[in-house]
Amino acid sequence: MKIHLPNSAWIGNIDPFIRSFDTSNDGILEITSHKKWVSVHPVVLCMIAALGLFMRKKGAKVNFEQMEATSKHYLERIGLFELLEIDSEITVTPHESAGRFIPIKKIKNSEQLNDFIKEIIPLLHTEPEKVEPIKYIISELVRNVFEHAKSFEGAIVCAQYYKKSEIIRIGVVDIGVGIKYTISEHYSPKNDVEAIALALTPGITGTTRRIGGTGENAGAGLFFIKSLAKASRDFFMIYSGKGMYKLLRTPKEKDIKLIADPLKDHFSFDNELPFWRGTVVGIDLCLKKTFDFEKLLDLIRNVYRKGRKEQTKIRYRKPKFI
Protein backbone atom coordinates (compact mmCIF):
# COMPACT_ATOMS: atom_id res chain seq x y z
CA MET A 1 0.00 0.00 0.00
CA LYS A 2 1.11 3.53 -0.66
CA ILE A 3 -0.26 6.76 0.72
CA HIS A 4 1.15 10.21 0.02
CA LEU A 5 0.78 13.31 2.18
CA PRO A 6 0.27 16.00 -0.43
CA ASN A 7 0.98 19.71 -0.45
CA SER A 8 -2.65 20.42 0.34
CA ALA A 9 -5.61 18.21 1.30
CA TRP A 10 -8.63 19.74 2.98
CA ILE A 11 -12.17 18.46 2.74
CA GLY A 12 -12.87 20.68 -0.25
CA ASN A 13 -9.93 19.28 -2.24
CA ILE A 14 -9.43 15.89 -0.58
CA ASP A 15 -10.50 13.84 -3.62
CA PRO A 16 -7.08 13.67 -5.37
CA PHE A 17 -5.44 12.59 -2.09
CA ILE A 18 -7.91 9.74 -1.70
CA ARG A 19 -7.67 8.72 -5.34
CA SER A 20 -3.89 8.50 -5.04
CA PHE A 21 -4.14 5.95 -2.21
CA ASP A 22 -2.68 2.73 -3.59
CA THR A 23 -4.22 -0.32 -1.94
CA SER A 24 -2.19 -2.94 -3.82
CA ASN A 25 0.35 -5.05 -1.90
CA ASP A 26 -0.99 -5.06 1.63
CA GLY A 27 2.24 -6.53 2.95
CA ILE A 28 3.81 -3.11 3.29
CA LEU A 29 2.69 0.47 3.84
CA GLU A 30 4.80 3.20 2.24
CA ILE A 31 4.05 6.71 3.52
CA THR A 32 5.57 9.56 1.55
CA SER A 33 5.06 13.29 1.66
CA HIS A 34 5.38 16.48 -0.35
CA LYS A 35 8.96 17.73 -0.24
CA LYS A 36 8.28 21.39 0.47
CA TRP A 37 5.11 21.88 2.45
CA VAL A 38 2.36 19.65 3.83
CA SER A 39 -0.87 21.38 4.76
CA VAL A 40 -3.64 18.90 5.48
CA HIS A 41 -6.92 18.46 7.31
CA PRO A 42 -6.77 16.50 10.59
CA VAL A 43 -8.84 13.78 8.96
CA VAL A 44 -5.92 13.09 6.60
CA LEU A 45 -3.57 12.61 9.53
CA CYS A 46 -6.11 10.34 11.21
CA MET A 47 -6.23 8.23 8.05
CA ILE A 48 -2.44 7.90 7.95
CA ALA A 49 -2.33 7.02 11.66
CA ALA A 50 -5.18 4.51 11.44
CA LEU A 51 -3.70 2.84 8.41
CA GLY A 52 -0.25 2.65 9.97
CA LEU A 53 -1.59 1.13 13.19
CA PHE A 54 -3.71 -1.36 11.28
CA MET A 55 -0.86 -2.47 9.03
CA ARG A 56 1.50 -2.84 11.94
CA LYS A 57 -1.07 -4.90 13.82
CA LYS A 58 -1.30 -7.16 10.78
CA GLY A 59 2.45 -7.62 10.92
CA ALA A 60 3.08 -5.59 7.79
CA LYS A 61 6.02 -3.25 7.44
CA VAL A 62 5.37 0.50 7.76
CA ASN A 63 7.87 2.77 6.04
CA PHE A 64 7.47 6.48 6.69
CA GLU A 65 9.86 8.27 4.34
CA GLN A 66 11.94 10.91 6.09
CA MET A 67 10.04 14.17 5.76
CA GLU A 68 11.72 17.17 4.18
CA ALA A 69 8.83 19.64 4.27
CA THR A 70 9.22 22.56 6.64
CA SER A 71 5.81 21.77 8.12
CA LYS A 72 7.08 18.43 9.44
CA HIS A 73 7.25 19.97 12.94
CA TYR A 74 3.48 20.29 12.94
CA LEU A 75 3.11 16.56 12.30
CA GLU A 76 5.55 15.88 15.12
CA ARG A 77 3.69 18.15 17.54
CA ILE A 78 0.31 16.75 16.64
CA GLY A 79 1.61 13.32 17.62
CA LEU A 80 1.53 11.42 14.33
CA PHE A 81 4.98 9.88 14.71
CA GLU A 82 4.53 9.13 18.37
CA LEU A 83 1.29 7.24 17.74
CA LEU A 84 2.96 5.25 14.98
CA GLU A 85 6.02 4.71 17.18
CA ILE A 86 8.28 6.15 14.53
CA ASP A 87 11.41 8.08 15.37
CA SER A 88 10.98 11.13 13.16
CA GLU A 89 14.30 12.67 14.25
CA ILE A 90 12.42 15.96 14.42
CA THR A 91 13.17 18.14 17.42
CA VAL A 92 10.48 20.49 18.63
CA THR A 93 11.99 23.34 20.61
CA PRO A 94 10.39 23.85 24.04
CA HIS A 95 9.49 27.50 23.53
CA GLU A 96 7.10 26.70 20.71
CA SER A 97 3.49 27.19 21.73
CA ALA A 98 1.39 24.13 22.39
CA GLY A 99 -0.89 25.18 19.57
CA ARG A 100 -4.60 25.04 19.28
CA PHE A 101 -4.96 21.48 18.26
CA ILE A 102 -6.07 18.20 19.70
CA PRO A 103 -3.22 15.74 19.13
CA ILE A 104 -3.98 12.48 17.36
CA LYS A 105 -5.33 9.98 19.79
CA LYS A 106 -6.52 6.42 19.72
CA ILE A 107 -9.75 5.96 21.70
CA LYS A 108 -10.87 2.44 22.44
CA ASN A 109 -13.46 2.68 25.21
CA SER A 110 -15.87 4.93 27.13
CA GLU A 111 -13.32 5.83 29.80
CA GLN A 112 -10.77 6.98 27.23
CA LEU A 113 -13.48 8.96 25.45
CA ASN A 114 -14.52 10.60 28.70
CA ASP A 115 -10.91 11.53 29.50
CA PHE A 116 -10.35 12.79 25.98
CA ILE A 117 -13.41 15.06 26.07
CA LYS A 118 -12.22 16.53 29.38
CA GLU A 119 -8.74 17.12 27.96
CA ILE A 120 -9.81 18.92 24.80
CA ILE A 121 -11.37 21.94 26.51
CA PRO A 122 -8.13 23.57 27.73
CA LEU A 123 -6.27 22.52 24.59
CA LEU A 124 -8.47 24.65 22.39
CA HIS A 125 -8.08 27.86 24.42
CA THR A 126 -11.59 28.99 23.59
CA GLU A 127 -14.84 29.83 25.36
CA PRO A 128 -16.71 26.85 26.88
CA GLU A 129 -19.85 27.44 24.79
CA LYS A 130 -17.79 27.09 21.63
CA VAL A 131 -16.47 23.76 22.80
CA GLU A 132 -20.01 22.33 23.15
CA PRO A 133 -20.57 21.36 19.49
CA ILE A 134 -17.03 19.95 19.36
CA LYS A 135 -17.64 17.71 22.33
CA TYR A 136 -20.95 16.71 20.80
CA ILE A 137 -19.42 15.72 17.45
CA ILE A 138 -16.52 13.80 18.94
CA SER A 139 -18.74 11.92 21.36
CA GLU A 140 -21.27 10.91 18.70
CA LEU A 141 -18.69 9.91 16.10
CA VAL A 142 -16.47 7.96 18.47
CA ARG A 143 -19.46 6.14 19.95
CA ASN A 144 -20.50 5.20 16.41
CA VAL A 145 -17.10 3.54 16.05
CA PHE A 146 -17.53 1.66 19.34
CA GLU A 147 -20.99 0.44 18.40
CA HIS A 148 -20.77 -0.28 14.71
CA ALA A 149 -17.22 -0.40 13.37
CA LYS A 150 -15.78 -3.54 15.02
CA SER A 151 -12.43 -1.77 14.87
CA PHE A 152 -9.57 -3.36 16.83
CA GLU A 153 -7.80 -0.03 17.20
CA GLY A 154 -10.96 1.88 18.16
CA ALA A 155 -11.30 5.42 16.81
CA ILE A 156 -8.45 7.68 15.73
CA VAL A 157 -9.31 11.30 16.49
CA CYS A 158 -7.60 14.60 15.79
CA ALA A 159 -8.65 18.25 15.50
CA GLN A 160 -7.27 21.67 14.77
CA TYR A 161 -8.78 25.00 15.81
CA TYR A 162 -8.07 28.19 13.88
CA LYS A 163 -8.62 31.09 16.22
CA LYS A 164 -8.78 33.90 13.67
CA SER A 165 -11.43 32.28 11.50
CA GLU A 166 -12.91 30.40 14.48
CA ILE A 167 -12.99 27.22 12.45
CA ILE A 168 -12.52 23.81 13.98
CA ARG A 169 -11.58 20.91 11.73
CA ILE A 170 -12.17 17.44 13.12
CA GLY A 171 -11.32 13.97 11.87
CA VAL A 172 -12.56 10.64 13.25
CA VAL A 173 -11.35 7.50 11.49
CA ASP A 174 -11.56 3.76 12.00
CA ILE A 175 -10.35 0.65 10.29
CA GLY A 176 -13.40 -1.48 10.81
CA VAL A 177 -16.16 -3.10 8.81
CA GLY A 178 -17.40 0.05 7.07
CA ILE A 179 -20.87 1.52 6.71
CA LYS A 180 -22.14 -0.73 3.91
CA TYR A 181 -21.46 -3.87 5.94
CA THR A 182 -23.26 -2.47 8.99
CA ILE A 183 -26.26 -0.99 7.21
CA SER A 184 -26.67 -4.13 5.07
CA GLU A 185 -27.80 -6.10 8.10
CA HIS A 186 -31.23 -4.52 7.67
CA TYR A 187 -31.14 -2.66 4.34
CA SER A 188 -29.93 -3.47 0.85
CA PRO A 189 -27.76 -0.60 -0.41
CA LYS A 190 -26.43 -1.16 -3.93
CA ASN A 191 -23.15 0.60 -3.27
CA ASP A 192 -21.16 2.46 -0.61
CA VAL A 193 -22.62 5.90 -1.31
CA GLU A 194 -26.14 4.51 -1.02
CA ALA A 195 -25.14 2.94 2.31
CA ILE A 196 -23.67 6.24 3.52
CA ALA A 197 -26.85 8.05 2.44
CA LEU A 198 -28.95 5.59 4.47
CA ALA A 199 -26.71 6.12 7.50
CA LEU A 200 -27.20 9.88 7.15
CA THR A 201 -30.99 9.62 6.95
CA PRO A 202 -32.71 10.37 10.26
CA GLY A 203 -34.38 7.31 11.79
CA ILE A 204 -32.28 4.76 9.92
CA THR A 205 -29.73 2.72 11.83
CA GLY A 206 -27.74 -0.41 11.10
CA THR A 207 -29.14 -2.10 14.21
CA THR A 208 -32.78 -2.44 13.17
CA ARG A 209 -35.29 -1.68 10.43
CA ARG A 210 -37.69 -0.26 12.97
CA ILE A 211 -38.29 3.49 12.68
CA GLY A 212 -36.95 5.18 15.79
CA GLY A 213 -34.24 2.55 16.12
CA THR A 214 -33.56 0.43 19.18
CA GLY A 215 -33.19 1.45 22.80
CA GLU A 216 -29.57 2.33 22.11
CA ASN A 217 -29.62 3.62 18.54
CA ALA A 218 -31.94 6.13 16.95
CA GLY A 219 -30.20 6.57 13.63
CA ALA A 220 -29.99 10.30 14.17
CA GLY A 221 -26.36 10.92 15.17
CA LEU A 222 -24.86 11.40 11.72
CA PHE A 223 -27.80 13.52 10.63
CA PHE A 224 -27.17 15.81 13.62
CA ILE A 225 -23.51 16.13 12.71
CA LYS A 226 -24.18 16.77 9.05
CA SER A 227 -26.67 19.41 10.20
CA LEU A 228 -24.01 21.09 12.33
CA ALA A 229 -21.77 21.42 9.28
CA LYS A 230 -24.67 22.64 7.20
CA ALA A 231 -25.62 25.25 9.80
CA SER A 232 -22.07 26.59 9.79
CA ARG A 233 -22.07 26.53 5.95
CA ASP A 234 -19.10 24.18 5.99
CA PHE A 235 -17.87 20.87 4.67
CA PHE A 236 -18.66 17.42 5.97
CA MET A 237 -17.44 14.16 4.46
CA ILE A 238 -17.82 10.44 4.95
CA TYR A 239 -15.61 8.00 3.09
CA SER A 240 -16.22 4.28 3.54
CA GLY A 241 -15.49 1.34 1.27
CA LYS A 242 -15.23 2.76 -2.23
CA GLY A 243 -17.66 5.59 -1.62
CA MET A 244 -17.40 9.16 -0.45
CA TYR A 245 -20.26 11.53 0.32
CA LYS A 246 -19.29 15.16 0.70
CA LEU A 247 -21.65 17.88 1.92
CA LEU A 248 -20.64 21.04 0.10
CA ARG A 249 -20.60 24.54 1.50
CA THR A 250 -23.85 26.49 1.51
CA PRO A 251 -23.24 29.88 -0.13
CA LYS A 252 -23.65 32.94 2.10
CA GLU A 253 -26.54 34.31 0.07
CA LYS A 254 -28.57 31.14 0.58
CA ASP A 255 -30.70 30.44 3.66
CA ILE A 256 -29.79 27.42 5.73
CA LYS A 257 -32.34 24.71 5.14
CA LEU A 258 -31.86 21.30 6.68
CA ILE A 259 -32.88 18.43 4.45
CA ALA A 260 -33.59 14.97 5.82
CA ASP A 261 -32.73 13.19 2.57
CA PRO A 262 -28.94 13.50 2.13
CA LEU A 263 -29.26 12.88 -1.60
CA LYS A 264 -31.37 16.02 -1.95
CA ASP A 265 -28.76 18.12 -0.19
CA HIS A 266 -25.95 20.12 -1.80
CA PHE A 267 -23.37 17.34 -2.10
CA SER A 268 -20.84 15.54 -4.27
CA PHE A 269 -20.06 11.84 -4.33
CA ASP A 270 -17.71 9.25 -5.75
CA ASN A 271 -18.32 5.51 -5.82
CA GLU A 272 -15.08 4.37 -7.42
CA LEU A 273 -12.44 5.35 -4.88
CA PRO A 274 -9.70 3.08 -3.54
CA PHE A 275 -11.27 0.76 -0.97
CA TRP A 276 -11.07 2.08 2.59
CA ARG A 277 -11.62 -0.67 5.09
CA GLY A 278 -13.66 1.20 7.68
CA THR A 279 -15.01 4.73 7.88
CA VAL A 280 -13.49 8.18 7.60
CA VAL A 281 -15.41 11.22 8.83
CA GLY A 282 -14.22 14.78 8.47
CA ILE A 283 -15.98 17.97 9.41
CA ASP A 284 -15.31 21.69 9.40
CA LEU A 285 -17.25 23.91 11.74
CA CYS A 286 -17.18 27.67 11.93
CA LEU A 287 -17.88 28.72 15.50
CA LYS A 288 -18.42 32.42 14.91
CA LYS A 289 -21.23 34.19 16.70
CA THR A 290 -23.56 33.42 13.83
CA PHE A 291 -23.45 29.77 14.83
CA ASP A 292 -26.17 29.03 17.35
CA PHE A 293 -26.41 25.45 18.62
CA GLU A 294 -29.82 26.01 20.20
CA LYS A 295 -31.23 27.45 17.00
CA LEU A 296 -29.86 24.48 15.13
CA LEU A 297 -31.69 22.11 17.46
CA ASP A 298 -34.92 23.93 16.55
CA LEU A 299 -34.15 23.43 12.88
CA ILE A 300 -33.43 19.73 13.41
CA ARG A 301 -36.62 19.35 15.38
CA ASN A 302 -38.60 20.97 12.60
CA VAL A 303 -37.14 18.67 9.95
CA TYR A 304 -38.21 15.66 11.97
CA ARG A 305 -41.65 17.03 12.70
CA LYS A 306 -42.42 18.25 9.23
CA GLY A 307 -41.99 14.96 7.43
CA ARG A 308 -43.61 12.86 10.10
CA LYS A 309 -46.53 15.08 10.95
CA GLU A 310 -47.59 15.44 7.35
CA GLN A 311 -47.80 11.68 7.03
CA THR A 312 -49.24 10.62 10.33
CA LYS A 313 -50.88 13.72 11.79
CA ILE A 314 -49.72 12.58 15.19
CA ARG A 315 -50.59 14.69 18.19
CA TYR A 316 -47.47 14.95 20.26
CA ARG A 317 -47.59 14.66 24.02
CA LYS A 318 -45.22 17.11 25.70
CA PRO A 319 -42.52 16.27 28.24
CA LYS A 320 -43.05 18.17 31.48
CA PHE A 321 -40.19 20.42 32.53
CA ILE A 322 -40.31 21.48 36.18
**Residue numbers of the site for another protein (CB under 8 A)?**
110, 113-114, 117, 128, 132, 135-136, 139-140, 143, 202-203, 210-218, 220-221, 224, 293-294, 297-298, 300-301, 304-305, 308, 312, 314, 316-322
Q: How many residues does the chain have?
A: 322
CA atoms within 13 A on the CB side of 136: 22
Minimum distance of another protein from residue 237's CB (angstroms)? 21
Nearer to another protein, 68 or 298 (CB): 298
- Output 33 or 144, the one with its CB closest to another protein: 144
Nearer to another protein, 132 or 272 (CB): 132
Cβ distance 145 to 152 under 8 Å? no
Three-state secondary structure call for residue 239:
strand
CB of 205 to another protein, least distance (A): 10
Contact 144, 213 (CB under 8 A): no
- Contact criterion met (CB below 8 Å) for 76 and 106: no
- Give me the least distance between CB of 120 and another protein, in Å please: 11
Closest approach of another protein to the CB of residue 315, in Å: 8
Rounded Cα gap, residues 191 and 208, in angstroms: 19
Which lies closer to another protein via its Cβ, residue 6 or residue 221?
A: 221
DSSP H/E element including 55:
helix 42-57
Query: At its nearest, how many Å lie between another protein and the CB of residue 283?
Result: 15
Cβ of residue 211: shortest distance to another protein, in angstroms?
4
Nearer to another protein, 21 or 224 (CB): 224
User: How far is residue 226's CA from residue 257's CA, in Å, rounded to a whole number?
Assistant: 12
CB nearer to another protein: pick between 117 and 263: 117
Q: DSSP assignment of 170-230, as one string?
A: EEEEE-SS-HHHHHTTT---SSHHHHHHHHHSTT-BTTBSSTT--SS--S-HHHHHHHHHH
Say which amino acid occupies 64. Answer: F
User: Which residue's CB is nearer to another protein, number 6 or number 202?
Assistant: 202
Nearest distance from C-beta of residue 2 to another protein, angstroms: 37
CA–CA distance, 180 with 176 (Å, rounded to integer): 11
